[in-house]
Structure 1
Amino acid sequence: MIELVIFDADGVLFDSIESNIAYYNAIFRQVGERALDAAEETRSISYAADEMFIARAHGDQAKLEAMRAVARSLDGSVFFQMLRPPLELRPFMMQLRTRYRLGLATNRSQTVPKLVEHLKLEGVFDAIASVLDGVAPKPAPDVLKLCIERAGTAPERSVYVGDSPIDCQAALKAGTHFIAVGARVDHTHWINTIRELPATLKELDRKSTLTPQPTKASG
């Protein structure tokens, strides 16, 4: 029986490609770096900001610290207007709350509190965990484990809703079920958008056991 539904943020609750590209390019521009290339644009959806900075710095500690400093001073919420939710989130989530507890587990960090406010999801989540809590980012399971702990339930009674291979890997390591969203990841349980989530959750509830399947990147 599923008790806790944990959501990733980017790619699940909203399309953030435009927002993420603008955010990183604003930082890189201030430190004299080129804009994101196509591969970095894809990674920006799932990876923690510091991972993006480390990859771009190529071992240059001064450059890395410059990126971090700009990120700390930049108000990331100015990019929220570029986020594109697939539906009106609050009524959808409140309906889910009639049956499940809800969680949020994301590789985002300092933008999380303002993001929840912007999406009008205050009071919706029973537990929130992010890189801001000082835990390792996905694909490590730490963010998920912390969210589950805060919700007071067990991994086998939880499901993570994510849109990337690293989300699936984190769920496998944490021992939770997984529902894949969108074209970037394939899985036994897959949906196009979260509009289809309630039916898939009912399907999971009907099954006494479920072993999450390994992910494969979509071609």
Structure 2
Amino acid sequence: MLKALIFDCDGVMFDSRETNRAYHDHLLAAFGLPRMDEEELEYVHIHNVWESVAYIFRNSAVPVEKVHEFRLRDDYRPFFRYMKMEPDLRPFLTMAHRYFKLAIATNRTNTMEMILEDFDLSGFFDKVMTAENSRHPKPSPEPLLEICETFGCQIDEALYIGDSAIDEECARACAMPFAAFRNSRLAARYYINSFMEISTLPPVAAVMATV
């Protein structure tokens, strides 16, 4: 029986593409460099901040250490205005929290806690794994494995909801059932386009019908 639902953040809980564009362009501008192109945007949208900074500064003479020093002093909150929370996220979490343990597995770092606080979502999640508190971030399966260990559940008693090839690889590496969010190109057991649609998936509906 399903016991846990695990969510990616960017591209699932939030449409944050323009947030990532604005933030990483801001980092480049701080060092006098031009904006990202679309290929670079695709990269930073699914990778963690260390990989993203290394990638977008790869052709510059700016030491990445200087970029990280700058970003750690900088305030990320002004970029929240670009984030669009899925309209049915809160209603779904309110309902699902009664039946399942809920967790996040994201490649965000110190910004994840700020987002949960500012959007008043902290109380819904029993575990949050980021690229900062995981020794091996996604696509390693370690974040998913640690969540299952914390919850005391088996891999097949959890469902991971993600939108990228990194999420797909992460779930596949530990054989966790995977639901693709608005991305039919991924190899997944389930395909969904909204949060409320999750409640119609057979393993989710089965729990909600019996508890």
Go from structure 1 to structure 2 and tell me whether the alpha carbon gap of 1:184 and 1:52 turns closer, same or farther (over 3 Å shift): farther
Distance (Å, rounded) in 1 between the aligned partners of 2:24 and 2:40: 10
The runs of 5 or more residues in structure 2 that have no matched partner are: none
Who is 1:108 aligned against?
108
Question: 2:104 is paired with a residue of what secondary structure?
Answer: strand
> What RMSD, in angstroms, separates the aligned Cα atoms of the two structures?
2.1
- Give the aligned partner of residue 90 of structure 2: 90
**Larger displacement relative to structure 2 (57-66 or 143-152):** 57-66
Q: 1:65 Cα shift?
A: 1.0
Residues 44-85 of structure 1, C-alpha deviation per residue, up to 9 Å, x if partnerless?
A: 221101111122333878521122112111211221121112
Residue 192 (str. 1) matches residue 180 (str. 2): no
Equivalent in the alignment of 2:71: 71
CA gap 1:62/1:134 in 2 versus in 1, 3 angstroms: farther
> SS of the residue aligned with 1:116?
helix
- Give the whole-Å Cα distance in 1 for the aligned partners of 2:134 and 2:60: 23
* Contact 1:141/1:174, CA 8 A, preserved across alignment: yes
Query: What letter corresponds to residue 55 of structure 1 in structure 2?
Result: Y
Residue 78 of structure 1 aligns with an amino acid whose one-letter code is P
**What does 1:121-200 correspond to in 2, within 5 Å?**
121-183=121-183, 185-186=185-186, 187-200=188-201
Q: Distance in 2 between matches of 1:130 and 1:200?
A: 26
| 3-state SS of 1:168 partner | helix
TM-score (norm. length: structure 2): 0.89
Instruction: Give distance in 2, aligned partners of 1:59 and 1:135.
Output: 28
What amino acid maps onto 1:188 in structure 2? Answer: R
- Count residues in correspondence: 206
Q: CA deviation at 1:194?
A: 2.0
Q: Find the residue that maps to 1:10 and give its secondary structure.
A: coil
Q: What SS class does the counterpart of residue 44 from structure 1 fall into?
A: helix
Moved more, 178-187 or 78-87: 178-187
Does 2:99 match 1:99?
Answer: yes
Using the aligned pairs only, state the percent identity.
27
Amino acid at match of 1:129: M
SS in 2 for 1:5: strand
